[in-house]
Every structure is written in C-alpha cells, then in structure tokens.
C-alpha cells in the first residue's frame, strides 16, 4: 500500500477543463432501472478495475470451471518464468487418465502415459474446458495437483481475492475426483465471489493477454493441426463470433473474445466474459444463472449496459504536467524545486451523459518527505516523488476492484536534485533568519505610522 504525506496535499479544481466528465460511479437513476437475472454479477473496466455494476458481488459461490482461469494464470506465469515452453512434452498421469474417463465431464480422453505438448493441453483446457488436460498441466507446473492447489490459494491471496478458496485445479466437485481427492471434504467445491472472479480475470487479461488467443477459438476440429485430439473441441462460450454450434449464433457478440464458462449442479450456469470496443475492454461475471442460454443473455445485458453508457477518457498523457504544479518544493537540495510530470496516463471511465466537477490531488511521497511535508533531497531523475489522484467530487457508488475510490498515477522527477552542502544550507538559514527579522521590523514601522 502506498504511503502519502499529509501536510502537502494540493487540490486543483478542474471542472472548467473537463466539464463533460463523470467518474465510474453510475447515476442512481440509471442503476435503479438495471438488473440481471443471476444470483451474483459484476461488470468492470478491465484497464482501471472500475466497477460499473455489481449485484451480491461478495457472495462466495461455486465457480465450477471458471476456476480454470487460475490454472491458466499459473501456467502462463510458469511459461513467462521459463520453467518450460509451449513445446514441452507432458506425460499423462494416472490421475489425468482417470479424469479422461470420467463420464459427464469435459475431457479429451487422455490415455495413461500419453504425451502431449503444453500448448495442446492448454488449448484443450481453454477451449474445451478439458479436466484431464487441466490436471496434467497442474502436475507439470507443481509436481502434484495438491501442491498446485496451494499455489492457487497463495496467488488468490496475492491478488486480493478475499472470498475465494480452491480445493482442486478443475472446478469439479471433490466427490468426482475419486481416489485422487486431496484437499477438503468430498462435498467441497472451489469457491469464488463475482468480485474475486473479476479480479482474477482482470489479472489474467492484463498480465497475460495471450490468453485471449486461446479463449477466442470457437472450436478445434478432430484432425486439425499438429497433435490434434480425436474429439472435437467445441468452446462452451456461445458468444464467440463464428461459433459452429447452431444454438450459439443468436448469442454472438461483437468484440467478445473470452473468457470462461462454468457449470456444476451447485454452481448453476456461470460465465466470465470479456469484450473490447473502441479501445475499452470490459469484464463481466454472472454466477448461478438459470440456464445455458441465460448466462449469455445476462452477459449481453451487462456488456451492452457498459458499452452504451461509459467510455474511456484520457485526461493527461504520460509525461504531461499539471498546470500550476509543474514543480514541487524540495528541502535541503541544490535546487529549491524539482520539475515533475506524470509517470503514466491519467485515464478514467466516464458516464457519457453526466457532467460533474473533479479535483486533482498532488501528494508528495511520504517516504521522501521531511517533517514539514516537503520532499527531501537528494532525488534521482525518474524517481517517483508523488502521486496525482483524480477525485470525483460526488458520491461514487462502487469504486474499483482494488478498493480505491480515485484514479491515481505516479509523479516522477524530471531532473536530479542533489543534496545541498553544509555551507549552502547554512547560508539559506541565515538568509531566512534575516528575512524574518526584517519582516518584523517592517511590520513594527507600519504599526508606528498607522
């Protein structure tokens, strides 16, 4: 968590500059007229985590195969760290083979000892939600699914998923794992809230956007490409354009390229969707909806609501300065001020039809300030010396996934400021002393002749 000074907070009203802007909060009247038919749901902006709608978002529910997003994340993380590559061969274990023969589940019928590449198994998991492929990957990453589940829970904690617990890598009910169940009780399933699911989806899309290369595949036909499977890999996401399933065609949604469906008897029909239009990517989650079709209908409602009512606005670009605050004061430096600029674009989600005032708070970094709240030299060029926080001057309804109610970006020093020598510091002190004494003399003279 960032630390801020409390004595040097500067507020700049910028209503005159951005009178057409409105932060992520949804007007109360608009919210009152919108709902979705699901026990829990959330809609967020993927870039900022701004919450545009939520319903029972902290209710912990079984996510079914949406759990596989965490498996996808950890596999992509291991790939990025060089633990293996897409062409690395994985040998199917007894556990993976057991799930390959489990009736009524998604699987690619992995044989005991069957060799498949990481990319083949990842495709089967991301497109077809294959449970045997998922376990094979989990064992590849961690050596065992039990250890992998520990990694899943650790990553959930790291991401701030406070209402989530994982007991397996697939999202299957524990009772279906037979002799390979290892964590929890037979009646247990994984658990996530809609908010936590959105946190996970946001991290997955932002940290490893290559996931969309897989999640956007409508189907993989038998015999198609190197290392094909005998079974047709038909994506359960009916909202993908070009999906070959006849029942899917009415659900196709422009710009949608992911992310993960889920179903068990306890979970009901779940779906985490993501779509991008005009440079804005949204993430939606519906949990425990009524039917296969309903989860897509409710997702459409959520995404339409977001795209029809909100847009991304870049107020200032990286490297821009804030008018009137191009510099910040520095104590004990060779220079008395340091020029500062934005270290990242200042962006926010705005409602298209509302107009409100905003303020920018310019806050020095507390770890770099003295007791008077001033930046203390030395300062390095490019060092983060403060933060620019854009605050909506109203009543935000939901805030962001990370709990912040304001958009915030770093301010960086544009020049190095060396620490002043003892002589320079002493002379400044003497100058300040005489300046103060002279001011008192002038004030006394004014009083005599007034």
Considering the candidates 40, 60, 65, 193, report the single residue annotated as catalytic: 65
Active site residue 450: no
Active site residue 65: yes
Is residue 260 a known part of a binding site?
Answer: yes
Active site residue 226: no
What secondary structure, in 3-state letters, does the chain show?
CCCECCCCCEEEECCCCCCCCCCCCCCHHHHHCCCCCCCEEEEEECCCCEEEEEECCCCCECCHHHHHHHHHHHHHHHHHCCCCCCCCEEECCHHHHHHHCCCCCCCCCCCCCCEEEHHHHHHHHHHHCCHHHHHHHHHHHHCCHHHHHHHHHHHHHHHCCCCCECCCCCCCCHHHHHHHCCCCCCCCCCEECHHHHHHHHHHHHHHCCCHHHHHCCCEECCCCCCCCCCCCEECCCCCCCCCCCHHHHHHCCCCEEEEEEEEECCCEEEEEEEEEECCEEEEEEEEEECCHHHHHHHHHHHHHHHHHHEEEEEEECCCCCCCCCCEEEEECECCCEEEEEECCCEEEEEECCCCCCEEEEEEEEHHHECCCCCEECCECCCCEEEEEEEEECCCCCCCECCCCCCEEEEEEECCCECECCHHHHHHHHHHHHHHHHHHHHHHHHHHHCC
Considering the candidates 93, 129, 193, 216, report the single residue annotated as catalytic: 129
Annotated binding site for substrate: 260
Catalytic residues: 65, 68, 129
Annotated binding site: 260
């Amino acid at each position: 968590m960032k630390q801020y000074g409390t004595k040097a907070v500067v507020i700049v009203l910028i209503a005159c500059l951005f009178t057409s802007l409105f932060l992520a909060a949804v007007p109360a009247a608009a919210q009152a007229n919108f709902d979705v038919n699901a026990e829990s749901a959330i809609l967020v902006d993927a870039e900022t985590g701004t919450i545009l709608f939520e319903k029972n978002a902290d209710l912990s529910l079984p996510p079914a195969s949406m759990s596989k997003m965490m498996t996808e994340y950890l596999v992509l993380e291991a790939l990025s760290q060089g633990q293996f590559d897409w062409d690395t061969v994985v040998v199917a274990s007894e556990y993976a083979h057991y799930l390959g023969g489990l009736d009524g589940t998604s699987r690619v019928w992995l044989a005991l000892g069957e060799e498949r590449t990481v990319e083949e198994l990842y495709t089967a998991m991301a497109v077809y939600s294959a449970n045997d492929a998922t376990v094979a990957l989990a064992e590849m990453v961690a050596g065992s699914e039990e250890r992998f589940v520990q990694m899943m829970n650790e990553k959930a904690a790291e991401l701030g998923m406070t209402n989530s617990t994982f007991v397996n890598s697939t999202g299957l009910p524990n009772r279906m794992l037979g002799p390979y169940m290892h964590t929890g009780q037979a009646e247990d399933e994984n658990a996530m809230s809609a908010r936590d699911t959105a946190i996970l989806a946001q991290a997955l899309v932002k940290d490893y956007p290559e996931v969309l290369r897989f999640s956007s595949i409508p189907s993989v036909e038998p015999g198609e490409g190197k290392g094909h499977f005998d079974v047709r890999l038909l994506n359960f996401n009916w909202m993908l354009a070009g999906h070959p399933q006849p029942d899917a065609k009415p659900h196709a949604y422009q710009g949608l390229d992911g992310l993960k469906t889920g179903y068990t008897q306890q979970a009901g029909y779940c779906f985490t969707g993501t779509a991008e239009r005009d440079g804005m990517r949204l993430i939606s989650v519906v949990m425990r909806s009524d039917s296969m079709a309903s989860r897509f209908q409710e997702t459409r409602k959520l995404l339409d609501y977001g795209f029809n009512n909100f847009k991304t606005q870049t107020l200032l670009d990286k490297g821009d300065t804030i008018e009137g605050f191009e510099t910040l004061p520095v104590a004990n430096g060779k220079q008395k001020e340091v020029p500062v600029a934005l270290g990242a674009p200042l962006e926010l989600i705005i409602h298209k039809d509302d107009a409100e005032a905003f303020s920018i708070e310019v806050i020095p970094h507390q770890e770099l300030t003295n007791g008077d709240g001033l930046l203390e030299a030395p300062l390095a060029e490019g060092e983060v010396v403060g933060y620019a926080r854009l605050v909506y001057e109203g009543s935000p309804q939901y805030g962001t996934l990370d709990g912040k109610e304001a958009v915030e970006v770093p301010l960086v020093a544009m020049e190095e400021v060396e620490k002043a020598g003892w002589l320079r510091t002493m002379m400044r002190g003497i100058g300040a002393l005489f300046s103060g004494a002279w001011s008192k003399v002038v004030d006394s003279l004014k009083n005599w002749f007034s």
